[in-house]
Structure 1
Amino acid sequence: MKHMLLTWLLALSFLTATAQDISVEKSTYGIQVGFFGVYGHNESRLSNTIALRSELGLDAAIYSNNFAGSRKFVLVPALTLAPRWYYNLKKRVSKSRRIDGNSGNFIAIKTSYHPDMVIGHLDDNVNFISDISIIPTWGIRRHIGQHFTYETGIGMGFIHFFEEDNVYLSSTSGLALNLHLRIGYRF
Structure 2
Amino acid sequence: MKNIFLALLFGASTLATLAQDASVEKSTFGLQTGILGIWAHNETKLSNSIALRSELGLDAGLFSENFEDGSFFLFIPAISLEPRWYYNLKKRVRKSRRIDGNSGNFISIKTTYHPDLVIGSIEDNLSFISDLTIIPTW
Give the TM-score, by structure 2 length.
Answer: 0.80
Partner AA of 1:80 in structure 2:
S
Give me the CA root mean square deviation.
2.4
Structure with bigger strand share is 1
Matched with 1:48 is 48
Matches within 5 A, 1:151-166: none
Shift of 1:15: 6.5
Tell me which residue corresponds to 1:134. 134
Distance apart, 1:16 and its partner CA: 6.1
After TM superposition, the runs of 4+ consecutive aligned structure 1 residues lying more than 6 A away are none
Matching of residue 58 in structure 1 with residue 53 in structure 2: no
Structure 2: tracts of 5 or more residues without a match: 1-7
Instruction: In structure 2, give the amino acid aligned to 1:17.
Output: A
User: Distance in 1 between the 2:16 and 2:137 partners?
Assistant: 36
2:19 maps to what in 1?
17
Residues 18 and 93 in structure 2, CA contact (< 8 A), matched pair in contact too: no
Aligned partner of 1:64: which letter? Answer: S
Unaligned runs of at least 5 residues, structure 1: 1-6, 139-187
State the shift of 1:106 in Å: 1.7
Residue equivalent to 1:144: none
Matches within 5 A, 1:27-106: 27-66=27-66, 68-106=68-106
Change (3 A) 1:117 1:55: same
| 1:121 aligned residue | 121
* Whole-angstrom CA distance in 2 between matches of 1:128 and 1:59: 14
Please give the per-residue CA displacement for 1:21-69, whole angstroms capped at 9, x wherever unaligned: 2110011111111343111111111111110011111111221121653
| CA shift in 2, pair 1:77/1:120, >3 Å | same
The structure in which a higher percent of residues are helix is 2
Rate the CA distance shift 1:95–1:38 in 2: closer, same or farther, 3 A: same
Alignment partners' CA distance in 1, 2:82 and 2:59: 16
Distance of 1:63 and 1:97 partners within structure 2: 44
